[in-house]
């Protein structure tokens, strides 16, 4: 679901993966400089965090990027449903 709408033509998209209880993770897009492929970085770190920590990370990013979009995926298995690499 879209939890925050950014600019229609610009703005970064963050993905909040919510396992509905046992933790969240926020993914941020980047480009692999080796081959130019899109990949996703674990913005909240390598481990699952409390939802409040994920929301705090998103709020910090919103202060720096008012065009930011936030999409939340609720999946008990923590799947992001992305084809791109996640690091």
- Please report the pLDDT score of residue 56 as a whole number: 97
End-to-end CA gap in the chain:
23
pLDDT tens sequence across 41-78: 999 999 999 999 999 999 999 999 989 999 999 999 99
Q: Which of 25-34, 53-62, 78-87 has the lowest mean pLDDT?
A: 78-87
CA distance 59 to 78: 21
**Tokens 């995926």 identify what position?**
73
Number of compact structural domains in the chain: 1
Structural domain span for residue 17? 2-86
CATH number of 12's domain: 3.40.1530.20
Identify each DSSP E strand in 1-87 by its residue range. Answer: 2-4, 13-18, 24-31, 38-42, 69-74, 85-86
How many CB atoms are located within 10 Å of the residue 56 CB? 14
Residue 87 to residue 78: CA distance in whole angstroms:
15
């Amino acid at each position: 679901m879209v939890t925050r709408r950014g600019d229609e033509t610009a703005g970064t998209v963050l993905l909040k993966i919510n396992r509905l209880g046992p933790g969240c993770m926020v993914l941020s897009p980047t480009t692999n400089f080796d081959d130019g492929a899109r990949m996703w970085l674990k913005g909240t770190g390598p481990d699952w965090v409390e939802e409040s920590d994920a929301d705090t990370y998103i709020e910090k990013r919103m202060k720096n990027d008012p065009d930011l979009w936030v999409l939340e995926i609720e999946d008990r298995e923590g799947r992001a449903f992305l084809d791109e690499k996640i690091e």
